[in-house]
Amino acid sequence: MNFGVYLTGAFGQSQALYDARNAAKRGRGFPEAVERQILEDTKTVIEKQKEAGLSFVIDSMLRMYHLLQPFSENVPGVKIGPQENWFNNNVFFWRPEISGKIDASATGFTVKYLHTDLLLQGGDATVVLPSPYTLIALSTFKGVKGYEMHPAEQRSKIIDIANLIKAEAQNLVKKGFKRIQYDEPAIVNRQSLGSLTRTDISLLASAMRQCGRISGATTILHTYFGDAGPIMEQLRDLETDGIGIDCTETRLDDVSKHKFTGKELVLGLVNARTTARENPESLAKKVRMVAEATDPKALWLTPNTGTEYIGWAHGLEKLAVLKAAKEHFEK
């Protein structure tokens, strides 16, 4: 069984980047200064990941303000909608407004937000894309109120989006990315709120049949912001190479009672929504326990989500926790 550690999402911005953005917004600075600081911070984050021995390198994602931004800004037939809270965090996103059929040939909408050259300089690079289910759950469709479509229309829409995401993933693999992470907070959040239906699970399964396997890359459906325990079996059986679980919301016992033979399992045990520092030795023990119980093809220790919620300094501390936990596990 392979084991390793890696980051799973956007990194918190530095004070220098915050100052540069604030100055530009108030007319006292320039966009070029913001971009220079983003580049400098991204180089630091990538270097820190490599120094810590992380298994995969991920972009800091500092060029985008939220996960759905590349889709909203660059896909024909989609525009930026109203601002809303991102799953009860102190950050916001702009709801995509979809006005027509999604064109699956409209690829390349993610690349301009990534530092591709830096990411591909040694080591396997991971890229994060929104899962089709989260996209449809958080979008508004012209003529209907988001999710109040007829089931047949929901399925048609999510297949269109899944084909677009598949084409985007294939485009990124051609550029050299080896790992595709589909972020899926909506499915487990709905489960935790008691509003999840069989139709939701079916829609996610349909989407993953379209984009869950990408030639030349490993695909992970990474869930967070909710308890995955009650739907663990359905998640495990999806057409993906692996599943990521927010283990700050999901009990480890609910993970351990399932076998993941032939699948990769990602344990989001490091809480990226709190500044409290986890005990690396305790993390290593938990990982060993889950490994013995679940028999995965590979097991990865990660934060439950991106560290953007706790800022730059605490993000670096969480990275150090991952490194130390890896060292304890390998003793």
pLDDT one-digit tens code per residue, 207-264: 999 999 999 999 999 999 999 999 999 999 999 999 999 999 999 999 999 999 999 9
Provide the percentage of residues in the chain whose pLDDT is more than 90.
88
* pLDDT score of 141 more than 90: no
- Which strand (E) or helix (H) includes residue 5? strand 2-5
**Residue 124: CATH number of its domain:** 3.20.20.210
Residue at 24: amino acid letter: A
How distant, in Å, are the alpha carbons of 43, 58, 79, 116, 293 from that of 48?
A: 9, 11, 36, 17, 32
d(CA 128, CA 185): 13
Count of structural domains within the chain: 1
Pick from 221, 218, 106: which is nearest to 173 by CA? Answer: 218
Helix boundaries (H) for 227-306: 232-236, 252-256, 280-294
Q: In this predicted structure, what is the pLDDT of residue 258?
A: 98
Q: Are 166 and 209 in contact (CB under 8 A)?
A: no
Q: In this predicted structure, what is the pLDDT of residue 148?
A: 52
Query: Where in the sequence is the domain holding 295, given as residue range(s)?
Result: 2-329
119: left (phi over 0), alpha (psi -120 to 50) or beta: alpha
Q: What is the pTM of this model?
A: 0.96
